[in-house]
Structure 1
Amino acid sequence: MAGIGNAIIIGGGIGGPAAAMALQRAGIEATVYEAYDGPATGVGGALSIAPNGRQALAAIGADAAVAAVGRPMRAMVMQSWTGKRLAEFAAPERLPEQLLVWRYELYRALHAEAVRRGIRIEHGKRLVAVEHAPHGARATFADGSTAAGDVLIGADGIRSTVRSAIDPGAPSPRYTGLLGFGARCTGDGLAPTGPKMHMVFGRRAFFGYQIEPDEAGWFANLPHPTPMRAAEAQRVPAEEWLRRIAELFRDDRTPAVEMVRRTRPEDLVVTGGLEDIPRVPVWHKASVVLLGDAAHATSPSSGQGASLAIESAVQLARCLRDLPVAEAFAEYERLRRARVERIIAMAARTNADKAAGPIARVLRDALMPIAMKAFGDPKKFAWQFDHPIDFAAPVVPGARATPAGRG
């Protein structure tokens, strides 16, 4: 080990507990400090854990805990609003199955697994200041308490306080032009999709759904000209949002309207404006480093946000295990930046298709079947999913991050 004894992690979402478990495996003690007073319960919509995310979880022995709360998602079927199937994408069969998991259940699984391993998670610790020290960093919280460690890891999300502390000129989140919604509902009487997520470029908005006998789930991305923070969107009654969503999908030949009609207002998840950050110039300073959305925030359209955060947690722990802090942070950034920014850019192109205006939609719908044929080869996107990390392998600065031919 490179002399790092302990770390403080700001943020108890996905990246924070994953980083704590990875660091523990690397022989480094870590404590997680979460701003909210308690764990998320019933908060957040569905997300996917891609095969690469499961590979990263497996590297720290946490895949089984997450698989227990997920459902298989073996393929993604792309459709037009007319019901025409455009393409079907699936990860290579040799890789772990993709999982569909509800965000709060993922939080709960990761927190429980971290606590089971003896990792301390403190709630009600909202960060207000970061102080750099010659041999570490100190965090000050809103309640007046402090915490110090050899390193401080900012896993505090897209509006990261840690990011602003190390770079006051850091970019702010960028609105994608879309609002996000989702819910669970009954699947009785609906045509089952099996373990396949159907993605529909609707006539007016984007709709995703998966229907199994015991449960169905859906999400919608609605074009909206101006940003709406989650709190603002949640002030609109859920009944009104459900009415608007159903109206937008009234002409689409999909189960969208019926699934929305079956959704109870109290079950609607309103996430507000979808955002990303194309590039964060500064990932680390002195003994402070960024992780997950704080460093590489991709929009939900990538299907990779959680998986990338877990990958970064594993790679950061490896680097801190084997290298002095400054070298470790530089190598961690080198291993991660190109990959995450490539995925952020791909998701941004998808967002542009989802948020297309009336004229652009006509062009999109005309060209999409051709584009899907061109990109339907699984080899063209397998680089995202086939990204194993050998946790035990020593980190050699400048070496290839993965075996030849992998992303």
Structure 2
Amino acid sequence: MTKVRTALVVGGGIAGPVAAMALRQAGIEARVYEAYDSTADGVGGGLSIAPNGLRALSVIGADDAVRAVGLPMDSIVIHSWTGKRLAAFGGPSGMEPQRFVMRPDLYRALYAEAAGRGIEVAHGKRLVSAEHLGPQHAPTGVRAHFADGTAAEADVLIGADGIRSTVRAIIDPAAPQPRYTGLLGFGGWSDHTGLASTGDAMYMMFGKRAFFGYQVFPDGRCGWFANLPHPTPMSWSEANRTSPEEWLRVLRAAFADDRMPVLDILRKSDPAEFVSIGGMEDIPRVPTWHRGRMVLVGDAAHATSPSSGQGASLAAESAVQLARCLRDLPAEQAFPAYERLRRERVERIIAAAARTNSDKAAGPVARVLRDLILPTAMKLLAKPEKMAWQFDYRIDWDTPVTA
């Protein structure tokens, strides 16, 4: 058993650059291999970075880069379709606010931060296969093969390649596929809505037919997202065959009966800044996170739906914890230690988000029951201490990891 010195990081989205920076801080040389031929600047909509995510990024000194592109979101105010205020969720005392950020901005910030530290990202490298080097019972490294005919070798291979991870299928050919949540996801920006600033609060609404969230910033811009129940899954490419103008018409019809300013926001939405992500998905549990010298991180290991508000934050946490484990232990011990540190937490958050999705996708009868139950439930749940277990997660980088 020898110390890991080099790593191949497959996937250059969010988890990949963070993992590479954390590995570099741990004394491990990492190179990122990205399937896209160029940078993925225009991919994805709005998301939140929770305090725990910022804290994880602070361990590797990447938190300020994210703060620079995010806007504060200190609380969430929940309404029913009638306009009735059901609850307000504030962050736990003493923690900085969440940050609302567009995924392309987050991607660019992390990409630039990694590049500034000398981390190389090789583009046009779509992974097709990988095999272990050395004895089968005690591999010494990994060789990765890419669609362009090239190959690369390192001590370990880290799959940061998202919810449809190729590395996950290599590690375990029987690994589960993504699960459709019953919701399509949309987002965008609106100007000149005439709405007053919501300050640092995100407003959310359980509509009669769909779910909506928005935040009006001091400069008058309004960032919004919508979750629309849909009976069958729809991929990103399928969803984007429909024009933004047509989707906006569909959304206006879905929210036509709701007594919140959703229609004003949608009418002012710029089609050029409209984002359709297709079907929202998760994976409740990935049974196998690692095999030999290969391991998963981020959505490849623990894909939660966007309803959690924790996807990017969990990816940052896992990337930093993985690097910490590889710093202190040989791969054969580091990967099980990493999984023990992460599995229970991430699966609990995935399950919580799944319960939220079921409320968003409620049918006519379930919606009536939901609207009856929600006011009481919100009074019980809308307490900062109820969310502290998610937000108050700390990584003690300086403490050695033991097997």
Q: TM-score range by the shorter chain?
A: over 0.9
The question of 1:376 aligning with 2:351 is answered: no
Moved more, 74-83 or 84-93: 84-93
Equivalent residue for 1:143? 148
Equivalent residue for 1:115? 115
| Structure 2 residue corresponding to 1:204, chosen from 185, 200, 209 | 209
Please report how far the alpha carbon of residue 239 of structure 1 lies from its aligned counterpart in structure 2 after TM superposition.
Answer: 1.2
| Structure 1 residue corresponding to 2:190, chosen from 182, 185, 199 | 185
After TM superposition, list the pairs within 5 Å mapping 1:8-407 onto structure 2.
8-133=8-133, 134-214=139-219, 215-397=221-403
Please report how far the alpha carbon of residue 187 of structure 1 lies from its aligned counterpart in structure 2 after TM superposition.
Answer: 4.4
> Aligned equivalents of 1:122 and 1:79: distance in 2?
46
The CA deviation string for residues 169-215 of structure 1, in whole angstroms up to 9 with x for no partner, is 00000000000000011145112211111111111100000001321
> Aligned equivalents of 1:180 and 1:79: distance in 2?
19
Equivalent residue for 2:136? none
Please report how far the alpha carbon of residue 106 of structure 1 lies from its aligned counterpart in structure 2 after TM superposition.
Answer: 0.3
> Aligned equivalents of 1:16 and 1:226: distance in 2?
31
TM-score (normalizing by structure 2): 0.97
What secondary structure does 1:335 align onto? Answer: helix
Please report how far the alpha carbon of residue 128 of structure 1 lies from its aligned counterpart in structure 2 after TM superposition.
Answer: 0.5
Runs of 4+ more than 4 Å apart: none
What secondary structure does 2:301 align onto? Answer: helix
Aligned residues: 397
Q: Which amino acid aligns with 2:113?
A: E
What secondary structure does 1:225 align onto? Answer: coil
**Which ranges in structure 2 are unaligned for 5 or more consecutive residues?**
134-138
Identity %: 65
> Aligned equivalents of 1:96 and 1:193: distance in 2?
18
Please report how far the alpha carbon of residue 344 of structure 1 lies from its aligned counterpart in structure 2 after TM superposition.
Answer: 0.2
**Which ranges in structure 1 are unaligned for 5 or more consecutive residues?**
398-407
Structural RMSD (CA): 1.1
In the superposition, relative to structure 1, how do residues 270 and 300 fare at CA in structure 2: closer, same or farther (>3 Å)? same
Mapped contact 2:193–2:264 kept (Cα < 8 A): no
Q: Which amino acid aligns with 1:307?
A: S
What secondary structure does 1:381 align onto? Answer: helix
Please report how far the alpha carbon of residue 2 of structure 1 lies from its aligned counterpart in structure 2 after TM superposition.
Answer: 6.2
> Aligned equivalents of 1:354 and 1:15: distance in 2?
28
> Aligned equivalents of 2:271 and 2:293: distance in 1?
46
Q: Which amino acid aligns with 2:157?
A: L
What secondary structure does 2:168 align onto? Answer: helix
Please report how far the alpha carbon of residue 94 of structure 1 lies from its aligned counterpart in structure 2 after TM superposition.
Answer: 1.4
